[in-house]
Structure 1
Amino acid sequence: MTSLADAVSRYLRHVTVERGLSPHTVAAYRRDLALYATFLEQRGVQDPAGVTGADVAEFPTALATRESPLGASSIARVVSSVKGFHRFVAEEGLVDDDVTTTTRPPKLPARLPKAISISQVEALLAATDGDEPTRLRDKALLELLYATGARVSEAVSLNVDDVIEGDVVRLFGKGNKQRIVPLGSYARRAIDAYLVRVRPLFSARGSATPALFLGTRGARVSRQNAWLIIQAAASRAGLPMEVSPHTLRHSFATHLLEGGADVRVVQELLGHASVATTQIYTLVTADALRDAYGQAHPRARWRPGEREARAVDEARATEAGATAPTA
């Protein structure tokens, strides 16, 4: 009989080697399943065959009511990890049935992506102006994030050779899927300045690495470093909202669509597997049009809460349409 710990280890090897998931994603699975294993052990369950439907059904409640409760989105992610694990042990013949087939993650409210305006992006980027080595690096990083819509994990994983002649960059997304994205003149100039004036300086302080973005000691910039760089720039820019790497990704998509880009093109640039995911951004740009119309037209006043409710309905309809079976 396979123990719970051994089954989890086999599953993590599976998603690492056979499915080729990123180290970040595998680490998230490991954390999620550690929570699940602790929960099961507290109930006296030692192996996958001993897990019941009741155990799985009560796990989300335990996450929501523990001393440091998880939010709905985090619980949904953990439940998804658990379902993947149980599907794997059933397919491997470690158990007779998948006990999670009737388990549904908590229903999440439809949330529109948070983007900042073009002027706010410009203020953020201007906050990295300067000739100091760290400022030149920070500008290159932020310009690249906004120019390409890259996820922060994709940006910090870049190597120098991934910046290709002809003003394009090679990004490696989820599942190690590769896509080519244009850089734009501003980002290209910022990266060139960083490569010529700063990277050799930082590289000399550490061991040889092909990483594009380096810290002051010569090591690859981490995801956490990138967050701190963006938050510091937002603070200097005096932006009133919280700004994260994903804020720049959302802003990239929103501003492209507002500028007339086709949603399929934006899907390709973002590396979305489904166009339904990208279409959420069309609700953001439609919001801007509705706001302008509602302010200007005398017979187009929205009742309180009506616009938000309609946006949520449209998001749900879009997702339902994307997942509905075809004839």
Structure 2
Amino acid sequence: MARAVRTYLDHLAVERGLATNTLSSYRRDLRRYVEHLAEAGITELDQVSEATVSGFLVRLREGDPAHPPLSSTSAARTVVAVRGFHRFAVADGLAEVDPASAVKPPAASKRLPKALPLSDVEAILEAAGAPGTTLALRDRALLEVLYGTGARISEAVGLDVDDLAEPLEGETAGTVLLRGKGGKERLVPVGSYAREAVDAYLVRGRPELVAAGRGTPALFLNARGGRLSRQSAWAVLVRAADRAGVTRDVSPHTLRHSFATHLLDGGADVRVVQELLGHASVTTTQVYTLVTVDNLREVFATAHPRARE
């Protein structure tokens, strides 16, 4: 068994050219697998059954006296190494059957989106841009649009001036045309805070920036008059969060998560939020409802007289 593992690792190193760190991971994972087989009295590859491999996966997830339980991601990585080993053994004539082919790696657990409290979002928006500068007007408009529409960072920097539409008579919110994944377009309302920030930027900030370039329809410009890049837009948010004293990790997607979570907390229907976010399926959006359910549990546990033990 050990000889077969060495042959497989040599194959990965020489023929597949795997990196040293990756090989170390494979070596560590397969060493643990061989130990598991030895404890079961298995010394030959053709003695391994599908149940043997499945039992190893269970052991990875539950842990043992010598090893703590592995997360679904770490267990999946180990199972991938085992599956590759058995597949190679059959292809190289070291075994007749592949007992691991039907054993699927565990699915990675869904991570809940990290939404910021409204107070943190407001602090970040207030801290956008160095005070008194042209770029401060741009930065405030950018962050207000990101949070006010739930736009992806690529959608925000891809906006042109003509993608903005003023409110119709009798309405309070204008709209913005966002181009999402796969070229899909959607119209999203723009509230008064974002609209006012954009108007201030268009009147007092963008003309100065556009004069430094060759003319472009882009809404958000860099200091040279060209379209703002995703990386630069990201840096705008990070600097604003730093000025605001928000210590948790903040990214443009954090504002998108916060947009969705705050809408659901405020009573918005999940299908409405789906449309606003541009999700193809409501299933993608429903992960945000888990966040709001957690909030409801916390409120219930602290506020209801019969909720406490």
- The interval holding the TM-score normalised by the smaller chain is 0.5 to 0.7
Q: Deviations over 1:184-211 (max 9, x none)?
A: 0111111011111111111111122111
Distance 1:109 1:190 in 2: 39
Partner of 2:137: 136
Distance 1:275 1:107 in 2: 20
Superposition map of 1:1-327 within 5 A: 43=15, 62=22, 65=25, 72=73, 107-128=107-128, 130-166=131-167, 167-301=174-308
Distance 1:156 1:240 in 2: 25
Partner of 1:306: none
Q: Secondary structure at the match of 2:221?
A: coil
Distance 1:263 1:204 in 2: 43
CA contact (8 A) 2:159 2:219 kept: yes
How many pairs align?
223
CA contact (8 A) 2:128 2:236 kept: no
Return the offset for 1:65.
3.4
Return the offset for 1:154.
0.5
Q: Deviations over 1:14-44 (max 9, x none)?
A: xxxxxxxxxxxxxxxxxxxxxxxxx999626
Distance 2:104 2:179 in 1: 31
Paired letter, 1:171: L
Change (3 A) 1:103 1:203: farther
Q: Deviations over 1:64-118 (max 9, x none)?
A: 939xxxx959x99xx9xxxxxxxxxxxxxxxxxxxxx979676212211100111
Partner of 2:36: none
Distance 1:140 1:63 in 2: 48
**Greater gyration radius:** 2
Distance 1:188 1:124 in 2: 17
CA contact (8 A) 2:12 2:23 kept: no
Paired letter, 1:65: S
Give the % identical residues.
59
Return the offset for 1:63.
8.8
Distance 1:240 1:187 in 2: 24
CA contact (8 A) 2:13 2:23 kept: no
RMSD: 3.1
Q: Secondary structure at the match of 1:113?
A: coil
Change (3 A) 1:112 1:134: same
Change (3 A) 1:109 1:262: same
Distance 1:235 1:135 in 2: 15
Distance 1:171 1:144 in 2: 11
Distance 2:191 2:102 in 1: 48
